[in-house]
């Protein structure tokens, strides 16, 4: 029987992080180069920046139409089978069998893919996926029937693609780690969640000491809203300021020590559907996923290094890719989970963030500030949804960012430059003066809340965390919901796969392979248990707030949110908007919210000064982004809307993608779209906000993308 062993505590000091990245970089053929470091950068900043690969900035015309994922490819030169496994219950080779039966590829010229078999396959090594994997192994230890579990993570290491605020509500982590103490732990180690949280942050998980909510004016003024008038959801006492990227790395180590097989640098590219007649339209469930093929050149032809991807098959496949996950969106649309959940389309915000080191006299440990007003809203009737955050984390970090609701109408809005000018407001600048920016990044977050939750389960799998949409947009918090959904998913799945007569004999941990004849199970108890949990209560309470902003503007939106949180507590008998359910194609997506440019004037943004505000390419170096040059673009123009960039986006909307992408990936040269896919920081904004949603965001070679360390 697998036992819960004490996991080895590894220091995630900069040196270790650097060596991890260097190791990953060399394994993946990445270069580690010098960067343009701002004068006066501290040694901490130097450590961080020096460890990042230099991004490449180049332009190439990459307007390849969408092609089937089976003919395109990614990955590193490492293969899954070369990686060590930790689960002693069965050998890796045992699971490596040809399993074409489930393959969705129709290209017979390609060699067959090999397959790996697990009881549970988890796509995405973020807080949701890792919590699910940990809970599954805790239950394996406590109840005596082992389930084999693997996690696929597209970042070169766990945590490298995680970007968050982050003010962390620890209640779900506390629950997860409290279960740990019921494991049969040989070392008799008692886990205290506070100590673990602290250790994950190199001793710098900082308790929130002060909450401030400001309204900023364009003239440089600010008004503080007294805390007594703020919704309780905005009170942060009892929470901690952390780096979620670091916490995730820590959870990854814990999961591995429990026997979870984690494959970092391997992106799930294709969902393997159970199809009755070979047609996608007949898909009735999910059998697993496939990683991308390796070694295809930019022109689409196989290189000497070409290798097929691997099918990763599971009795249950848990999608935990975070907001706008590429496989999750495929499942939601193919299995019509919004229609069957009578849900609205999802809405998103784009969060852009920097981490600064500040001098001791500027640092206020535990200080939390949120703002509305400048620069996104200039009057109480302004309907642009969004606001800012600024947190002081020990030892001397200021984590700051701006979230812009992607349902904005004006195509001239440039979220990155809005963020830069936000920093020039005296109420923000005063926190950063004399400091050094050490990291930059961006990521979308869900804002649809309760209304936009699709059906959570389907035969063979389920949606977790932000893949499903569990984020409280009023609080800008989702990591606690992600962890809780992971816990509940694991408990529901374990109950389904490991109970009843003969359950142990059926596990892949025992047999070594998924039984193709076993009917796919839909674990509906997951959805039922989520509905009974505090996650649903929390999201229900604020379900109308975003709509109030969109309908009546920021002033009424704030008042409504206050009333909902203080008085009605979500029990108001009305609900808006009406869930769209089966009319999903008519729903107003964020892409459709953009209005023609003729209705607006171009916005004149101030030039960056290189001290407080930065040009985009300088900042992009601070994200550590790297992608293998010689690979097909992972940003593909959908074949049926191939004329949209030139005829609609440029002509009607004045090329909004050249402004909303926080990595400067899209530009028009002589009226032709140029896609600098190498610079992509995986925020997913373009897959949401593009006119007619003309971009299909697919995963690049695994390991490519940002290298976040303190995000």
Ligand X SMILES: Cc1cc2nc3c(=O)[nH]c(=O)nc-3n(C[C@H](O)[C@H](O)[C@H](O)COP(=O)(O)OP(=O)(O)OC[C@H]3O[C@@H](n4cnc5c(N)ncnc54)[C@H](O)[C@@H]3O)c2cc1C
- Summarize as ranges the residues that interact with ligand X (CB under 6 A): 123-129, 152-155, 161-168, 244, 267-268, 320-322, 325-327, 351, 353, 401, 403, 443, 445, 465-467, 471, 476-480, 482, 699
Residue 691 binding target from ligand X, ligand SF4, none, CB below 5 to 8 Å by type: none
Element (H, E) at 224: strand 222-224
Min separation Cβ 452 and ligand X, Å: 14
Pick between residue 141 and residue 467 the one whose CB is nearest to ligand X. Answer: 467
CA distance 499 to 145: 9
Element (H, E) at 47: helix 43-50
Residue 681 binding target from ligand X, ligand SF4, none, CB below 5 to 8 Å by type: ligand SF4
DSSP labels, 400-458 = EEEEEETT---TT--HHHHHHHHTTSHHHHHHHTT-EEEEEEEEEEE--GGGG----EE
Q: By CB under 6 A, how many residues form the interface with ligand SF4? A: 13
Residue 271 binding target from ligand X, ligand SF4, none, CB below 5 to 8 Å by type: none
Tokens of 249: 């790395």
Tokens of 313: 């098959």
Residue 699 binding target from ligand SF4, ligand X, none, CB below 5 to 8 Å by type: ligand X
CA distance 303 to 228: 63
- Dihedral (CA of 96, 97, 100, 101) sign: negative
Contact 638, 64 (CB under 8 A): no
Tokens of 159: 């945590």
Bond into 577 cis (ω within 30): yes
> What is the pattern of x (binds ligand SF4, CB under 6 A) and - over residues 661-700?
xxx-x--------------xxxxxxx----------x---
Pick between residue 231 and residue 465 the one whose CB is nearest to ligand X. Answer: 465
Instruction: Characterize 198-229 residue by residue with b for buried, 16 or more Cβ atoms within 10 angstroms of its Cβ, and e for exposed.
Output: bbbbbebbbebeebbbbbbeeeeebeebeeee
Min separation Cβ 682 and ligand SF4, Å: 6
Pick between residue 65 and residue 500 the one whose CB is nearest to ligand SF4. Answer: 65
Instruction: With CA atoms as reference, report the closest residue to 628 among 37, 74, 69.
Output: 74
Residue 685 binding target from ligand X, ligand SF4, none, CB below 5 to 8 Å by type: ligand SF4
Min separation Cβ 681 and ligand X, Å: 11
Min separation Cβ 688 and ligand X, Å: 13
Q: Which residues contact 628 (CB under 8 A, 6 or more apart)?
A: 28, 29, 74, 700, 701, 704
Min separation Cβ 557 and ligand SF4, Å: 26
3-state class (DSSP) for residue 340: helix
Residue 684 binding target from ligand SF4, ligand X, none, CB below 5 to 8 Å by type: ligand SF4
Pick between residue 504 and residue 667 the one whose CB is nearest to ligand SF4. Answer: 667
Min separation Cβ 355 and ligand X, Å: 12
Pick between residue 136 and residue 445 the one whose CB is nearest to ligand X. Answer: 445
Min separation Cβ 255 and ligand X, Å: 13
Tokens of 538: 């929390």
Pick between residue 460 and residue 704 the one whose CB is nearest to ligand SF4. Answer: 704
Instruction: With CA atoms as reference, report the closest residue to 315 among 517, 99, 163, 537.
Output: 517
Min separation Cβ 558 and ligand SF4, Å: 29
Is residue 635 close enough to count as binding ligand SF4 by CB under 6 A?
A: yes
Min separation Cβ 454 and ligand SF4, Å: 22
Min separation Cβ 381 and ligand X, Å: 26
CA-to-CA separations, 399 to 39, 206, 370, 381, 585, in angstroms, rounded: 20, 12, 12, 29, 38
Pick between residue 103 and residue 479 the one whose CB is nearest to ligand X. Answer: 479
Q: Which residues contact 170 (CB under 8 A, 6 or more apart)?
A: 193, 194, 197, 238, 239, 240, 480
Q: Which residues contact 316 (CB under 8 A, 6 or more apart)?
A: 119, 120, 121, 460, 461, 462, 493, 496, 497, 521, 523
3-state class (DSSP) for residue 372: strand
Residue 461 binding target from ligand X, ligand SF4, none, CB below 5 to 8 Å by type: none
Is residue 324 close enough to count as binding ligand SF4 by CB under 6 A?
A: no
Is residue 343 close enough to count as binding ligand SF4 by CB under 6 A?
A: no
Pick between residue 320 and residue 635 the one whose CB is nearest to ligand SF4. Answer: 635
Residue 661 binding target from ligand SF4, ligand X, none, CB below 5 to 8 Å by type: ligand SF4
Instruction: With CA atoms as reference, report the closest residue to 139 among 191, 182, 192.
Output: 182
> What is the biggest distance separating any 2 CA atoms in the chain, rounded to whole angstroms?
71
Min separation Cβ 66 and ligand SF4, Å: 15
Pick between residue 440 and residue 560 the one whose CB is nearest to ligand SF4. Answer: 440
- Binding residues for ligand SF4, rule: CB under 6 A, are 635, 661-663, 665, 680-686, 697
């Amino acid at each position: 029987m697998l036992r819960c062993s004490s996991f080895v505590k590894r220091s995630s000091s900069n040196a270790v992080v650097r060596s991890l990245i260097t190791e990953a970089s060399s394994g993946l053929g990445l270069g580690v180069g010098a960067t343009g470091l701002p004068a006066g950068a501290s040694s901490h900043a130097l450590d961080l920046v020096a460890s990042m690969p230099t991004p490449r900035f180049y332009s190439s015309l990459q307007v390849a139409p969408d092609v089937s994922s089976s003919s395109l490819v990614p990955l590193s030169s490492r293969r899954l089978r070369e990686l060590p496994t930790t689960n002693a219950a069965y050998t890796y080779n045992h699971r490596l069998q040809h399993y074409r039966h489930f393959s969705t590829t129709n290209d017979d010229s390609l060699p067959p893919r090999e397959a790996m078999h697990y009881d549970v396959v988890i796509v995405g090594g973020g807080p949701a996926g890792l919590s699910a994997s940990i809970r599954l192994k805790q239950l394996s230890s406590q109840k005596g029937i082992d389930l084999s579990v693997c996690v696929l993570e597209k970042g070169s290491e766990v945590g490298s693609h995680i970007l968050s605020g982050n003010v962390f509500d620890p209640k779900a982590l506390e629950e997860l780690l409290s279960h740990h103490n019921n494991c049969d732990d040989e070392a008799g180690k008692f886990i205290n969640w506070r100590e673990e949280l602290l250790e994950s942050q190199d001793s710098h998980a900082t308790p929130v000491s002060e909450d401030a909510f400001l309204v900023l004016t364009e003239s440089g003024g600010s008004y503080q809203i007294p805390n007594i008038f703020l919704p309780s959801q905005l009170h942060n006492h009892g929470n901690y300021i952390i780096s979620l990227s670091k916490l995730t790395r820590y959870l990854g180590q814990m999961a591995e020590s429990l026997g979870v097989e984690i494959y970092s640098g391997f992106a799930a590219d294709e969902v393997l559907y159970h199809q009755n007649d070979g047609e996608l339209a007949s898909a009735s469930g999910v059998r697993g996923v496939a990683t991308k093929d390796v070694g295809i050149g930019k022109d689409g032809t196989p290189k000497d290094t070409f290798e097929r991807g691997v099918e990763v098959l599971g009795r249950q496949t848990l999608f935990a890719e975070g907001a706008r996950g590429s496989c999750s969106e495929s499942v939601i649309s193919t299995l019509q989970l919004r229609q069957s959940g009578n849900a609205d389309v999802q809405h998103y915000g784009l969060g852009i963030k920097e981490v600064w080191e500040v001098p001791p006299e500027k640092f206020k440990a535990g200080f939390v500030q949120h703002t509305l007003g400048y620069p996104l809203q200039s009057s109480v009737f302004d309907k642009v949804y969004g606001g800012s955050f600024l947190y002081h984390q020990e030892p001397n970090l200021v984590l700051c960012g701006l979230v812009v609701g992607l349902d904005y109408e004006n195509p001239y809005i440039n979220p990155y430059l809005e963020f830069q000018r936000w920093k020039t407001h005296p109420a923000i600048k005063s926190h950063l003066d004399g400091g050094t920016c050490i990291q930059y990044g961006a990521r979308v977050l869900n804002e649809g809340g309760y209304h936009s939750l699709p059906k959570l389960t389907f035969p063979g799998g389920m949606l977790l965390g932000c893949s499903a949409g569990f984020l409280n947009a009023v609080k800008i918090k989702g990591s606690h919901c992600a962890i809780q959904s992971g816990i509940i998913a694991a408990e529901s799945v374990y109950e389904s796969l490991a109970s009843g007569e003969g359950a142990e004999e059926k596990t892949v941990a025992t047999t070594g392979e998924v039984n193709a004849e076993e009917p796919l199970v839909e674990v509906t108890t997951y959805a039922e248990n989520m509905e009974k949990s505090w996650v649903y209560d929390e999201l229900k309470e604020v379900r109308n707030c975003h709509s109030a902003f969109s309908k009546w503007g920021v002033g009424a939106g704030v008042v409504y949110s206050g009333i909902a949180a203080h008085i009605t507590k979500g029990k108001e008998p009305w609900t808006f908007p009406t869930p769209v359910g089966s009319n999903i194609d008519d729903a107003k997506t964020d892409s459709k919210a953009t209005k023609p440019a003729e209705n607006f004037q171009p916005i004149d943004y101030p030039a960056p000064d290189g001290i407080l505000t930065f040009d985009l390419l300088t900042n992009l170096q601070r994200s550590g982004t790297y992608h293998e040059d010689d690979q097909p673009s992972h940003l593909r123009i959908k074949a049926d809307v191939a004329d949209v960039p030139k005829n609609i986006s440029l002509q009607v909307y004045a090329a909004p993608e050249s402004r909303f992408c926080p990595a400067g990936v899209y530009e028009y040269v002589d009226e032709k779209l140029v896609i600098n896919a190498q610079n992509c920081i995986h925020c997913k904004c373009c897959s949401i906000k593009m006119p007619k949603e003309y971009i299909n965001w697919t995963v690049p070679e695994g390991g490519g993308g940002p290298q976040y360390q303190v995000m």
